[in-house]
Amino acid sequence: MVGQVTRTFNVRLEREGRWWVAVADGIPGAATETARLADLGNEMTDLLAGLLDLDEDDISLTWDASAVLGAEGNRVWNDFLAERDDLARRQAELNAKRDEALLALRDGGVSIRDSAVLVGLSHQRVAQLLQ
């Protein structure tokens, strides 16, 4: 579906023996299990896409691990996720500022090698960024 807005689903994560179990809140039949946690996100996304007739790219999952971690562990986990997302946002902003600085250095006649020293990157990476 072109132009579809991403929908976020809260998924409760549990353990049953050697199986990881995921249940999407409020969606009848939206439960799946895998032996490997790494496979669970794809399995749940595929399941939700089929149940709700959505494109997989329009699905976002948030994980509620309180059944596995307990309430306090889940709070710590969610704090970590929020910090990680904030760091990614700040890293993207920093990269944009770095690219602006590299352009200003180039426009000011500073060589790629000297620009690399100033921003703390290899001259090869600076050359890639300036392409």
Residues 66, 81: Cα–Cα separation, whole Å = 14
The segments of the chain whose pLDDT lies below 70 read 1-4
Q: What is the distance of C-alpha 12 from the center of its chain?
A: 18
Q: Give the separation between CA 80 and CA 83, rounded to whole angstroms.
A: 5
State pLDDT tens for residues 84-98.
999 999 999 999 999
According to the model, what pLDDT value does residue 2 have?
Answer: 52
Q: Which domains does the chain have, with CATH numbers?
A: 1-64 (3.30.2390.10)
pLDDT at 1: 44
Rounded to two decimals, the pTM is: 0.65
> What's the rounded Cα separation, in Å, for the pair 112 and 127?
7
* Per-residue pLDDT at 5: 77
